[in-house]
Amino acid sequence: MIIATNVTKRFSKLTVLDNVSATCNKGQTISLIGPNGSGKTTFIKCLLGMVVPDSGFITFNQQNIAHNWLYRSNIGYMPQIGRYPENMTIAQVLDMMKDIRKHSAGPLDEELIQLFKLDGMMNKRMGTLSGGTRQKVSASLAFLFNPDVLILDEPTAGLDPLSTEILKDKIRKEKQQGKLVLITSHILSDLDDIVTEVIYMEEGKLRFHKSLTQLQEDTGENKLSRAIAHVMAAAK
């Protein structure tokens, strides 16, 4: 569904992405793992066209995404740090997004808005929200349009345990509907039971891309966090 081929990105002298190639297919739940600054977020931003790669290309459903914008209507994106116009209220942001995306195919998925109890504070301004509430808004927006692909950048950072569970349940639900879910997260224990594939990145390079079962076999560890720790230790 998404195929990245030899994507390279430099910010002045720093090479953030170094020849990254990856294939992501429908129905998979892929976890992007790697130390801080390994290029996970930049890779995600490349997929969304927010960062333009220096070389290499990315295709979405066999179409090159460069100079293309319509493909983004199939993606729900939850940024690491959700930044919204400070003056707008939650309701206004939601209305604006609905207005802009001209949603036509099927009903809106407002389940998360209800589960996160956002409808009670629709008139609060974005500038006054706490980090966690902002994450809830970001998550609700990502799922709102029933997209085929969900890209979640650190979805559970800043969420309380209860909300984390709600979000994980929601991800599981979407996964069962055969959607492609891309998650980056530091909190590996969150991912154990959701993830089917693991992409491990380090210093802008893609170290490996394996299925979870394969990784468990290779490392002899059952838990994802232990397996990754094993890989990181072996690399040193």
Partner 1 sequence: MKKIIKYVLLDLLRNRIIIAFTVFLAVISFSVFNLEDNPSKGILSLLNLVLIIVPLVSIVFSTIYVYNAAEFIELLVSQPLRRVNIWLSIFTGLASSMCVAFLVGCGLPVLIYAPTDVGLMMTAMGLLLTIVFVSIALLASVLTRDKAKGIGVAILLWFYFTLIFDGIVLFLLFQFMDYPMEKPMVVFSCLNPVDLARILILLKLDISALMGATSAIFSNFFGNQWGMAATVLIMIAWAFTPLWWSVRKFNRKDL
Q: CA–CA separation, 32 vs 26, rounded Å?
A: 16
- Residue among 52 and 234 whose Cβ is closer to partner 1: 52
Residue 155 Cβ vs partner 1, minimum distance, rounded to whole Å: 15
CB 88 within 8 A of CB 79: no
* Least distance in angstroms from the C-beta of 27 to partner 1: 23
Specify whether the CB–CB gap between 225 and 189 falls below 8 A.
Answer: yes
CB of 207 to partner 1, least distance (A): 24
The whole-angstrom separation of Cα 132 and Cα 168 is 15
Q: Which is nearer to partner 1, 72 or 210 (CB)?
A: 72
d(CA 226, CA 195): 15
Q: In the complex with partner 1, which residue's Cβ is closer, 113 or 126?
A: 126
Q: Which residues bind partner 1 (CB under 8 A)?
A: 11, 45, 48-52, 69-73, 77, 79, 83-88, 96-97, 99-101
Nearer to partner 1, 108 or 232 (CB): 108
Angle between helices 161-176 and 131-144 (to 10 degrees): 10
Q: In the complex, what is the shortest distance from the CB of residue 77 to partner 1, in angstroms, rounded to a whole number?
A: 5
Nearer to partner 1, 17 or 228 (CB): 17
CB of 69 to partner 1, least distance (A): 5
67-73's contacts with Cβ under 8 Å and 24+ in sequence apart are 72/48, 73/101, 73/145, 73/147
| CA 56/CA 68 separation, integer angstroms | 15
Element (H, E) at 112: helix 111-115
